[in-house]
Amino acid sequence: MQKTVLITGATSGIGKAAAVALSRQGFHVIIHGRDAAKTEVVRQDIITESGNTQVSAITADLFSMQDIREMCTRIHEQFPRIDILINNAGSLMSNVREVSADGIEKTFAVNVTAPFLITHLLLDLLEKSDDARIINVASNSHQLNAQPDFNDLELKNGYNPLRAYGNAKLFLIWNTQHLAWRTNVKVYSLHPGAVATSFGKNSNLGPLLNIISKMVRPFFLSPESGADTIVFLATASTVPGNSGDYYVNRKPAKKSVKYFSPEREDLIWNYCLHQTGIITY
């Protein structure tokens, strides 16, 4: 039976490369983008590059939970089952703190609450698959840049874009391991490597970091190499390690333990339940 995979942020970079690779392997790929015209162009590109016509497109601005909810409703109307969910969309913001349509700091919104809400709204479709997997694209920035303040998770004070991004990917990794013991669906997080994509290109990090990030870009991996661990986790008949693990180069890897405690993991999970409106009390 043909498997269906939904990839968020598939209009560019790693997500698009993963979409091409999985289309070539015969999946029905649903690509998510935020702009309908751009997403349709990418859908046609993927069909041409893979030779597989089973490519669908769906749109939502992940800075809006209403958009996310409407997208997931449309997915329920169109697809009876999802086999693989790849929460790939993510972003490094700029050095002025901004909030989403829902009042959530934007780095937190796109990297933490969006995948959290999408996963919750689509879990029933994933549970219909006999080998479902959820793959969350995190980053080693959780080791390099995270510096969470557990009384100020969205950095109303002390915001800087790299700190917000490192924190967000740390929380995404914690939510991945938390979800692992709540569902039979396999759930993984990963670091794709340093990859030459649109990532960070428009993020104003300040004069020094803007120059450094331009200088190091030529040494980065191709999007295809960056997609390798994602494609492996989506397709391997046996994945080494356990549900909830974090992967680098196809292997389970150590996560930062610097800020970890089970209570803090619960705190992030519960915060996301409230911020997404899944629990309102």
Residues classed as catalytic:
165
Our finding on whether 229 is near ligand NAP (CB under 6 A) is no
Part in contact with ligand NAP (CB under 6 A); list of ranges 82-90, 118-126, 151-159, 234-242: 82-90
Q: What is the DSSP letter of 233?
A: H
Our finding on whether 99 is near ligand NAP (CB under 6 A) is no
Our finding on whether 247 is near ligand NAP (CB under 6 A) is no
Binding residue for ligand NAP, selected from 174, 188, 199, 247, defined by CB under 6 A: 199
Contacts (Cβ under 8 Å, ≥6 apart) of 167: 107, 108, 142, 145, 146, 147, 148, 153, 155
Part in contact with ligand NAP (CB under 6 A); list of ranges 149-157, 187-195, 234-242, 254-262: 187-195
* Cα gap 174→186, rounded to integer Å: 15
Look at the block and give the residue holding tokens 């041409």: 48
Provide, rounded to whole angstroms, the least separation between the CB of residue 35 and ligand NAP: 6
Cβ proximity to ligand NAP, 35 vs 266, nearer residue: 35
Q: Is 237 helix (H, G, I), strand (E, B) or coil?
A: coil
Provide, rounded to whole angstroms, the least separation between the CB of residue 15 and ligand NAP: 5
Our finding on whether 12 is near ligand NAP (CB under 6 A) is yes
Number of helical H runs and strand E runs in the chain = 11, 8
Look at the block and give the residue holding tokens 């030529």: 218
Number of residues that bind ligand NAP (CB under 6 A): 26
* Cα gap 99→117, rounded to integer Å: 17
Q: What is the DSSP letter of 210?
A: H
Our finding on whether 34 is near ligand NAP (CB under 6 A) is yes
Binding residue for ligand NAP, selected from 195, 205, 234, 239, defined by CB under 6 A: 195
Which among 207, 212, 8 has a CA at the least distance from the CA of 113? 8
Our finding on whether 143 is near ligand NAP (CB under 6 A) is no
Part in contact with ligand NAP (CB under 6 A); list of ranges 47-55, 72-80, 186-194, 207-215: 186-194
Cβ proximity to ligand NAP, 181 vs 219, nearer residue: 219
Contact between residue 59 and residue 85 where contact means Cβ atoms under 8 Å apart: no
* Cα gap 129→47, rounded to integer Å: 25
Cβ proximity to ligand NAP, 13 vs 244, nearer residue: 13
